[in-house]
Amino acid sequence: MVNIDQPDMSHTAMVSPMPIYCFSIHNADGSDYEFGGRMALTNDNAARAFGKAMIRDLMRGDPPRYAGWTMDVAKGTRPVCSIPFPPERIPSAALG
């Protein structure tokens, strides 16, 4: 007998949600700060790669503003990494 009130979930796998990573950027003395956003990613390595891609995009848009800044990546309150921005404008080909 099939129970129409409860869906049959026997064929689906239980999937845990991906962790949420936060991205923020700041200048060298911390006087200027921007929240870069949040993203659900599979692990710390994926978060680091995503942060590097964000830096490439920001440097293409306004290199003088962000030269020498740092991006901090965190999973909740746990710091994952800090990624430095290039110190000056670099050729677009080198940004990948």
pLDDT computed for residue 94 by the predictor: 55
Q: How many CA atoms lie within 13 A of 16 on its CB side?
A: 6
Which of 46-55, 61-70, 80-89 ranks highest by mean pLDDT? 46-55
Neighbours of 44 (CB within 10 A): 15
Q: How far is CA 24 from CA 40, 75, 82, 85, 86, in A?
A: 15, 12, 10, 12, 16
Question: Residue 4 pLDDT more than 70?
Answer: no
Q: pLDDT for 5-57, tens place per residue? A: 665 555 555 666 889 999 999 998 889 999 999 999 999 999 999 999 999 99
Which tops the pLDDT comparison, 81 or 68? Answer: 81
pLDDT computed for residue 72 by the predictor: 97
